[in-house]
Amino acid sequence: MGHFKGLSLFDVEAKGPLDLVTAADRDVERFICDQLSLAFPEDGVFGEEGSTIKSKSGRVWVIDPIDGTFNFVRGSDGWGISIGLLEQGVPTFGVVNTPARRELFAGGQGHPPSLNGNALAALRPFNRGCAAVGLGIHPKVPTEEGLDLLRQVTSDLKIAFRVTGSSVISLIDIAKGSVDGYIGRGIPSWDILGMLPCLHQLGIQTTINWQAEGLATELDFVCGTPEIIEMAKALD
């Protein structure tokens, strides 16, 4: 938040078109890695900004220090810090902090999904008449592929879509009931692993096979209610 309140005081670098990194990203990742190494010295780490520690326990913490960096540098509150735990290739626990919104989500196996320590409400029943999904299309995805996905969602599935500019914020929208799912194209694992275990506890499914994909894969996937997963089978 110190970085966020002093946005004009630090440099912003471009990793690619519309793909930014700041001193805040690096500082946050370094802090998280240091604390995880102290608390869980046998565990591995896989971070967006290059942090890599080999696991001796079969557990790996997957870190996105700021998901939604573009929103961050523009002064929007639509960004979050994502920490997910992969055990023997399976997502089992995650925490997402959105400091500008003062929200802390947590959940996973043996840990009921919560927001700021309070149990998250069950998701409302699916209503086809007002269905909506979040969309995340990485800048590396060819423009025509992204446009085709938009066409399929609006014309073929005939449902509404929302774009937040942050995968983790879009997944939070599922937990809050604002949308029924999320369709990602070219999305890194660190963008989503913090929130997925919490969503799984709410009955949300994904099409990701982590054993087959691996952490370094740019993911094309659907995440949502069983009805959204079924509808999305029609997508290319």
Cβ atoms 62, 38 nearer than 8 A? no
Same domain, 144 and 99: no
pLDDT at 4 over 90: no
22/53: higher pLDDT = 53
The mean per-residue pLDDT over the stretch 98-121 comes to 97
pLDDT tens across 33-89, in order?
999 999 999 999 999 988 899 999 999 999 999 999 889 888 899 999 999 999 998
Task: Identify the domain containing residue 18 by its residue range.
Answer: 2-119
Q: Where are the alpha helices (DSSP H) in 40-163?
A: 69-73, 143-151
Q: Verify that 175 and 146 share a domain, yes or no.
A: yes
In percent, how much of the chain has pLDDT > 90?
79
Are 89 and 58 in contact by the 8 Å Cβ rule? The answer is no
Q: What is the DSSP code string of 122-139?
A: PPPPP-GGG-EEEEEE-T
- For the cut 90, the answer to whether the pLDDT of residue 20 exceeds it is no
Q: Which of 61, 93, 119 is the last residue of a domain?
A: 119
pLDDT surpassing 60 at residue 8 = no
Least confident of 15-24, 130-139, 141-150, 151-160: 15-24
Query: Has residue 107 got a pLDDT over 70?
Result: yes
Pick the closest to residue 102 from 71, 123, 73, 81 (CA basis).
81
**Pick from 213, 200, 205: nearest CA to 229:** 205
pLDDT of residue 29: 93
pLDDT over 50 at 18, yes or no: no
Q: Are residues 176 and 210 in the same domain?
A: yes
What is each CA distance from 76 to 99, 114, 165, 211, in whole angstroms?
Answer: 12, 24, 10, 35
Cα–Cα dist 182/170, whole Å: 7
- Is pLDDT above 70 for 16? no
Residue that is last in its domain, among 95, 119, 143: 119
User: What length is written for the chain?
Assistant: 236
144 with 210, same domain: the answer is: yes
Q: How many domains does the chain have?
A: 2
Q: Is there a single domain that holds both residue 112 and residue 143?
A: no
Query: Over the range 157-176, which residues count as b (16 or more CB within 10 Å of their CB) and which as e?
Result: bebebeebbbbbbbbbbbbe
Q: Using alpha carbons, select from 225, 13, 195 the residue that is nearest to residue 96.
A: 195
Same domain, 99 and 176: no
Q: Which residue, among 69, 51, 49, 71, has the nearest Cα to 61 in the 3D structure?
A: 51
- Asked whether residue 98 falls in the same domain as residue 138, the answer is no
Residues 205 and 155 in one domain: yes
**Of the candidates 119, 151, 171, which is a domain's last residue?**
119
Are residues 61 and 7 part of one domain?
Answer: yes
pLDDT value at residue 7: 61
pLDDT digits (tens, 9 = 90+) for 156-175: 999 999 999 999 999 999 99
Residues 96 and 55 occupy one common structural domain: yes
Q: Helical H runs in the chain? A: 2-5, 23-39, 69-73, 143-151, 167-176, 196-201, 210-213, 226-231
CATH number for the domain harbouring residue 54? 3.30.540.10
93 CB-contact burial (10 Å; exposed 0-12 / middle 13-18 / buried 19+): buried
Residues annotated within a binding site: 48, 64, 66-67, 191
**Do 28 and 96 belong together in one domain?**
yes
Q: Give the per-residue pLDDT at 51.
A: 87
Same domain, 66 and 169: no
- Mean of the pLDDT values across residues 223-227? 97
* Rounded average pLDDT over 14-42: 81
Structure confidence at residue 13 (pLDDT)? 60
Q: Assess contact for 196 and 206: CB atoms under 8 A.
A: yes
Q: Which two tokens stand for residue 161?
A: 């879509």
Here the CATH number for the domain that contains residue 141 is: 3.40.190.80
Q: pTM higher than 0.75, yes or no?
A: yes
As separate numbers, helices (DSSP H) first and strands (DSSP E) second, the chain gives 8, 15
Specify binding-site residues for Mg(2+). 48, 64, 66-67, 191
